Protein backbone atom coordinates (compact mmCIF):
# COMPACT_ATOMS: atom_id res chain seq x y z
CA UNK A 1 0.00 0.00 0.00
CA UNK A 2 0.96 3.65 -0.33
CA UNK A 3 1.86 6.32 2.18
CA UNK A 4 0.88 9.62 0.61
CA UNK A 5 2.10 12.90 2.10
CA UNK A 6 0.49 16.20 1.17
CA UNK A 7 2.76 19.01 2.39
CA UNK A 8 1.02 22.40 2.52
CA UNK A 9 3.03 24.95 0.53
CA UNK A 10 0.46 27.74 0.15
CA UNK A 11 -2.14 28.42 2.85
CA UNK A 12 -5.55 29.16 1.27
CA UNK A 13 -7.17 32.53 1.84
CA UNK A 14 -10.65 30.94 2.05
CA UNK A 15 -11.96 27.66 3.45
CA UNK A 16 -11.52 24.46 1.44
CA UNK A 17 -13.89 21.48 1.27
CA UNK A 18 -11.42 18.57 1.48
CA UNK A 19 -13.88 15.64 1.57
CA UNK A 20 -12.44 14.16 -1.64
CA UNK A 21 -8.97 13.67 -0.11
CA UNK A 22 -9.37 10.13 1.22
CA UNK A 23 -6.59 7.53 1.61
CA UNK A 24 -8.25 4.72 -0.36
CA UNK A 25 -9.08 7.02 -3.26
CA UNK A 26 -5.66 8.68 -3.49
CA UNK A 27 -3.91 5.29 -3.22
CA UNK A 28 -5.20 4.49 -6.72
CA UNK A 29 -3.54 7.56 -8.24
CA UNK A 30 0.01 8.66 -8.97
CA UNK A 31 1.50 11.98 -7.83
CA UNK A 32 0.55 13.78 -11.06
CA UNK A 33 -3.09 12.68 -10.85
CA UNK A 34 -3.31 13.66 -7.18
CA UNK A 35 -1.90 17.11 -7.95
CA UNK A 36 -4.55 17.55 -10.66
CA UNK A 37 -7.52 16.81 -8.35
CA UNK A 38 -9.91 19.73 -8.08
CA UNK A 39 -10.80 21.57 -4.87
CA UNK A 40 -13.16 24.50 -4.35
CA UNK A 41 -11.64 27.68 -2.95
CA UNK A 42 -14.73 29.81 -2.48
CA UNK A 43 -16.18 30.10 -6.01
CA UNK A 44 -12.78 29.37 -7.57
CA UNK A 45 -11.76 25.91 -8.75
CA UNK A 46 -8.14 25.10 -7.90
CA UNK A 47 -5.99 21.96 -7.94
CA UNK A 48 -4.40 20.04 -5.08
CA UNK A 49 -1.02 20.87 -6.61
CA UNK A 50 -1.71 24.60 -6.18
CA UNK A 51 -1.64 24.12 -2.40
CA UNK A 52 0.37 20.98 -1.70
CA UNK A 53 3.58 19.21 -2.61
CA UNK A 54 2.79 15.52 -3.15
CA UNK A 55 5.10 12.71 -2.01
CA UNK A 56 4.37 8.97 -2.32
CA UNK A 57 6.14 6.08 -0.59
CA UNK A 58 5.36 2.58 -1.81
CA UNK A 59 4.90 -0.64 0.14
CA UNK A 60 5.33 0.35 3.79
CA UNK A 61 1.88 0.39 5.45
CA UNK A 62 -0.67 -2.44 5.28
CA UNK A 63 -3.48 0.06 4.72
CA UNK A 64 -3.45 3.24 2.64
CA UNK A 65 -2.13 6.17 4.63
CA UNK A 66 -2.58 9.86 4.00
CA UNK A 67 -0.48 12.42 5.87
CA UNK A 68 -1.16 16.17 5.90
CA UNK A 69 1.81 18.34 6.86
CA UNK A 70 1.01 21.90 7.89
CA UNK A 71 -1.79 23.90 9.47
CA UNK A 72 -5.01 22.47 8.00
CA UNK A 73 -7.31 24.75 10.01
CA UNK A 74 -8.98 26.11 6.85
CA UNK A 75 -9.60 22.65 5.41
CA UNK A 76 -13.03 21.27 6.32
CA UNK A 77 -14.37 17.68 6.12
CA UNK A 78 -11.00 15.97 6.24
CA UNK A 79 -11.78 12.24 6.34
CA UNK A 80 -15.49 12.82 5.75
CA UNK A 81 -17.31 9.54 4.97
CA UNK A 82 -14.01 7.65 5.17
CA UNK A 83 -14.45 3.86 5.12
CA UNK A 84 -10.85 2.61 5.05
CA UNK A 85 -7.28 3.70 5.68
CA UNK A 86 -5.47 6.03 8.04
CA UNK A 87 -5.18 9.82 8.09
CA UNK A 88 -2.56 11.70 10.09
CA UNK A 89 -2.84 15.49 10.32
CA UNK A 90 0.38 17.02 11.63
CA UNK A 91 -1.23 20.28 12.63
CA UNK A 92 -4.68 21.68 13.27
CA UNK A 93 -7.78 20.52 11.38
CA UNK A 94 -10.85 22.42 10.23
CA UNK A 95 -14.52 21.71 10.89
CA UNK A 96 -16.25 18.35 10.34
CA UNK A 97 -13.10 16.23 10.58
CA UNK A 98 -14.18 12.58 10.29
CA UNK A 99 -17.82 13.51 9.68
CA UNK A 100 -19.95 10.39 8.95
CA UNK A 101 -16.84 8.19 8.95
CA UNK A 102 -17.54 4.43 9.10
CA UNK A 103 -14.07 2.82 9.38
CA UNK A 104 -10.37 3.60 9.60
CA UNK A 105 -8.43 5.94 11.87
CA UNK A 106 -7.80 9.68 11.99
CA UNK A 107 -5.19 11.30 14.23
CA UNK A 108 -5.10 15.09 14.55
CA UNK A 109 -1.82 16.21 16.11
CA UNK A 110 -3.31 19.58 17.01
CA UNK A 111 -6.75 21.12 17.50
CA UNK A 112 -9.95 20.18 15.67
CA UNK A 113 -12.77 22.51 14.69
CA UNK A 114 -16.49 22.19 15.28
CA UNK A 115 -18.52 19.05 14.50
CA UNK A 116 -15.53 16.70 14.76
CA UNK A 117 -16.67 13.06 14.43
CA UNK A 118 -20.27 14.14 13.88
CA UNK A 119 -22.40 11.11 12.99
CA UNK A 120 -19.37 8.83 13.33
CA UNK A 121 -20.47 5.18 12.88
CA UNK A 122 -17.17 3.30 13.11
CA UNK A 123 -13.40 3.62 13.35
CA UNK A 124 -11.37 5.83 15.68
CA UNK A 125 -10.71 9.57 15.74
CA UNK A 126 -8.04 10.93 18.08
CA UNK A 127 -7.57 14.68 18.59
CA UNK A 128 -4.44 15.45 20.58
CA UNK A 129 -5.42 19.06 21.19
CA UNK A 130 -8.81 20.68 21.75
CA UNK A 131 -12.05 20.15 19.85
CA UNK A 132 -14.75 22.70 19.06
CA UNK A 133 -18.49 22.58 19.65
CA UNK A 134 -20.76 19.68 18.67
CA UNK A 135 -18.08 16.96 18.61
CA UNK A 136 -19.71 13.55 18.13
CA UNK A 137 -23.06 15.26 17.55
CA UNK A 138 -25.64 15.29 14.75
CA UNK A 139 -25.30 17.38 11.63
CA UNK A 140 -27.65 20.38 11.50
CA UNK A 141 -31.15 19.13 10.69
CA UNK A 142 -30.38 15.45 11.41
CA UNK A 143 -31.75 13.42 14.31
CA UNK A 144 -28.86 11.03 15.00
CA UNK A 145 -25.44 11.94 16.30
CA UNK A 146 -22.50 9.60 16.78
CA UNK A 147 -23.61 5.99 16.10
CA UNK A 148 -20.48 3.97 16.78
CA UNK A 149 -16.70 4.09 16.86
CA UNK A 150 -14.44 5.90 19.29
CA UNK A 151 -13.64 9.59 19.69
CA UNK A 152 -10.72 10.54 21.96
CA UNK A 153 -9.96 14.20 22.76
CA UNK A 154 -6.80 14.79 24.76
CA UNK A 155 -7.53 18.46 25.40
CA UNK A 156 -10.86 20.22 26.00
CA UNK A 157 -14.13 19.82 24.13
CA UNK A 158 -16.58 22.60 23.37
CA UNK A 159 -20.32 22.76 23.98
CA UNK A 160 -22.87 20.06 23.04
CA UNK A 161 -20.40 17.18 23.01
CA UNK A 162 -22.34 14.04 22.02
CA UNK A 163 -25.56 15.85 21.23
CA UNK A 164 -28.12 13.22 20.07
CA UNK A 165 -25.46 10.50 20.41
CA UNK A 166 -26.84 6.99 19.80
CA UNK A 167 -23.87 4.65 20.21
CA UNK A 168 -20.08 4.53 20.55
CA UNK A 169 -17.60 5.97 23.04
CA UNK A 170 -16.36 9.55 23.46
CA UNK A 171 -13.48 10.21 25.88
CA UNK A 172 -12.20 13.65 26.92
CA UNK A 173 -9.06 14.05 29.03
CA UNK A 174 -9.69 17.75 29.61
CA UNK A 175 -12.89 19.69 30.25
CA UNK A 176 -16.13 19.89 28.27
CA UNK A 177 -18.47 22.81 27.67
CA UNK A 178 -22.16 23.26 28.37
CA UNK A 179 -24.84 20.73 27.45
CA UNK A 180 -22.50 17.72 27.28
CA UNK A 181 -24.53 14.57 26.40
CA UNK A 182 -27.59 16.67 25.57
CA UNK A 183 -30.49 14.66 24.07
CA UNK A 184 -28.32 11.54 24.26
CA UNK A 185 -30.03 8.26 23.30
CA UNK A 186 -27.27 5.68 23.95
CA UNK A 187 -23.51 5.25 24.14
CA UNK A 188 -20.84 6.31 26.64
CA UNK A 189 -19.18 9.66 27.27
CA UNK A 190 -16.34 9.93 29.80
CA UNK A 191 -14.93 13.30 30.93
CA UNK A 192 -11.84 13.61 33.14
CA UNK A 193 -12.15 17.37 33.78
CA UNK A 194 -14.94 19.78 34.59
CA UNK A 195 -18.12 20.16 32.55
CA UNK A 196 -20.22 23.21 31.81
CA UNK A 197 -23.82 23.96 32.69
CA UNK A 198 -26.76 21.64 31.97
CA UNK A 199 -24.98 18.29 31.58
CA UNK A 200 -27.12 15.48 30.08
CA UNK A 201 -29.97 17.88 29.25
CA UNK A 202 -32.82 15.87 27.71
CA UNK A 203 -30.88 12.59 28.06
CA UNK A 204 -33.04 9.49 27.41
CA UNK A 205 -30.50 6.68 27.73
CA UNK A 206 -26.74 6.23 27.75
CA UNK A 207 -23.96 6.84 30.29
CA UNK A 208 -22.08 10.02 31.19
CA UNK A 209 -19.06 9.35 33.42
CA UNK A 210 -17.58 12.37 35.22
CA UNK A 211 -14.29 11.95 37.08
CA UNK A 212 -14.33 15.49 38.48
CA UNK A 213 -16.35 15.61 41.68
CA UNK A 214 -17.26 19.31 41.23
CA UNK A 215 -20.00 19.43 38.61
CA UNK A 216 -23.17 21.50 38.02
CA UNK A 217 -25.75 19.54 40.01
CA UNK A 218 -29.24 19.27 38.53
CA UNK A 219 -32.64 18.33 39.93
CA UNK A 220 -33.45 16.52 36.69
CA UNK A 221 -31.47 13.49 37.92
CA UNK A 222 -32.02 11.47 41.10
CA UNK A 223 -29.86 9.06 43.08
CA UNK A 224 -30.30 5.43 42.06
CA UNK A 225 -29.05 2.49 44.09
CA UNK A 226 -29.17 -0.19 41.36
CA UNK A 227 -26.28 -2.65 41.28
CA UNK A 228 -24.00 -1.71 38.36
CA UNK A 229 -20.98 -3.84 39.27
CA UNK A 230 -21.18 -5.98 36.10
CA UNK A 231 -21.55 -2.94 33.83
CA UNK A 232 -18.70 -1.19 35.67
CA UNK A 233 -16.35 -4.17 35.25
CA UNK A 234 -17.05 -4.16 31.51
CA UNK A 235 -16.67 -0.40 31.11
CA UNK A 236 -13.46 0.12 33.09
CA UNK A 237 -11.05 -1.88 30.85
CA UNK A 238 -12.25 -0.02 27.74
CA UNK A 239 -11.53 3.36 29.33
CA UNK A 240 -8.38 2.29 31.19
CA UNK A 241 -6.68 1.37 27.90
CA UNK A 242 -6.66 5.08 27.00
CA UNK A 243 -4.40 5.79 29.98
CA UNK A 244 -4.13 9.04 31.91
CA UNK A 245 -6.82 9.67 34.50
CA UNK A 246 -8.87 6.78 33.15
CA UNK A 247 -6.15 4.23 33.94
CA UNK A 248 -6.89 4.78 37.64
CA UNK A 249 -10.45 3.50 37.26
CA UNK A 250 -9.27 -0.09 37.65
CA UNK A 251 -8.60 0.71 41.32
CA UNK A 252 -11.73 2.76 41.87
CA UNK A 253 -14.90 1.67 43.63
CA UNK A 254 -18.18 1.51 41.74
CA UNK A 255 -19.42 5.08 41.23
CA UNK A 256 -22.50 6.90 42.42
CA UNK A 257 -25.31 6.61 39.93
CA UNK A 258 -27.87 9.26 39.06
CA UNK A 259 -30.84 8.46 36.83
CA UNK A 260 -32.69 10.75 34.40
CA UNK A 261 -33.41 13.08 32.66
CA UNK A 262 -36.69 13.02 34.58
CA UNK A 263 -38.07 15.86 32.44
CA UNK A 264 -38.20 13.53 29.41
CA UNK A 265 -38.83 10.29 31.36
CA UNK A 266 -35.28 9.31 30.50
CA UNK A 267 -33.42 6.22 31.69
CA UNK A 268 -29.91 7.57 31.20
CA UNK A 269 -27.30 7.80 33.91
CA UNK A 270 -24.62 10.10 35.24
CA UNK A 271 -21.81 8.24 36.99
CA UNK A 272 -19.81 10.16 39.60
CA UNK A 273 -16.75 9.31 41.74
CA UNK A 274 -17.80 7.14 44.69
80 and 143 share one domain:
no
Cβ neighbourhood burial of 234 (10 Å; 0-12, 13-18, 19+)? exposed
**Residue-number span of the structural domain to which 179 is assigned:** 114-274
33 and 138 share one domain:
no
The number of beta carbons lying within 10 Å of the beta carbon of residue 69 is 17
- pLDDT tens, the chain, 274 aa long: 789 999 999 999 999 999 999 999 999 999 999 999 999 998 899 999 999 999 999 876 688 999 999 999 999 999 999 999 999 999 999 999 999 999 999 999 999 999 999 999 999 999 999 999 999 999 999 999 999 999 999 999 999 999 999 999 999 999 999 999 999 999 999 999 999 999 999 999 999 999 998 888 888 999 887 878 888 888 999 999 999 999 988 777 788 899 999 999 999 999 998 7
Whether 97 maps to a domain, the answer reads no
118 and 162 share one domain:
yes
66 and 119 share one domain:
no
170 and 274 share one domain:
yes
Whether 183 maps to a domain, the answer reads yes
The number of beta carbons lying within 10 Å of the beta carbon of residue 175 is 18
Q: What is the pLDDT of residue 224?
A: 87
The number of beta carbons lying within 10 Å of the beta carbon of residue 213 is 9
Q: What is the pLDDT of residue 60?
A: 65
Amino acid sequence: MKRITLRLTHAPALRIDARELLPARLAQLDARDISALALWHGAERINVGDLFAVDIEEGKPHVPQLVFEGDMQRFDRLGSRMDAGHILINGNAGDYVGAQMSAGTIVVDGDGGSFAACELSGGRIEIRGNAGDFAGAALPGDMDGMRGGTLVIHGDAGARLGDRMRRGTAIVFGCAGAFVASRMVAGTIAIAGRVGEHPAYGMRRGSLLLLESAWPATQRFAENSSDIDVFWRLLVPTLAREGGAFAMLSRAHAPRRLRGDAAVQGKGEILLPG
